[in-house]
Amino acid sequence: MARNLTQLELLIELEPIAASNVDRHLSMAKDWHPHDYVPWDQGRNFAAMGGIDWDTGQSALGEVARAAMITNLLTEDNLPSYHREIAENFSQDGAWGTWVGRWTAEENRHGIVIR
């Protein structure tokens, strides 16, 4: 009798597909770092460090683009919760463990650049 897979069973079922895609990704990925793109010399400290806190008046983006960037930043900042779900159920050495570690680092870099 057929039954629906749990989310964990589905992830286990998909691990060979994740493995082939992790291998493909690793063969073509180019490492990058936020300092490659962020003009740090245009930045300044926040108020807690003697500078000025950011406010919307400083943004060069329109209202819609600013809302999209803030929403995206919230997603990037929630990465640890996604990471935990996979890390609790899979080895760090397997395809899902390798993928979630790299994905979390990538999204963290996105958050640094957006912020």
Residue 102 within binding range of Fe ion, rule CB under 5 A: no
Stretch that binds Fe ion, among 8-16, 56-64, 95-103, 105-113 (CB under 5 A): 105-113
**Interatomic CA distance for residues 11 and 22, integer angstroms:** 14
Q: Does 107 bind Fe ion (CB under 5 A)?
A: yes
- HSE on the CB side for 32, CA within 13 Å? 14
Task: Tell me what percent of the chain is helix, strand and coil, each rounded to the nearest 5.
Answer: 70, 0, 30
Among 11, 110, 112, 113, binds Fe ion (CB under 5 A): 110
Whose CB is nearest to Fe ion? 110
Q: Which stretch binds Fe ion (CB under 5 A): 19-27, 28-36, 54-62, 100-108?
A: 100-108
Q: Which stretch binds Fe ion (CB under 5 A): 24-32, 47-55, 58-66, 104-112?
A: 104-112
User: How many angstroms from the chain centroid is the CA of residue 14?
Assistant: 21
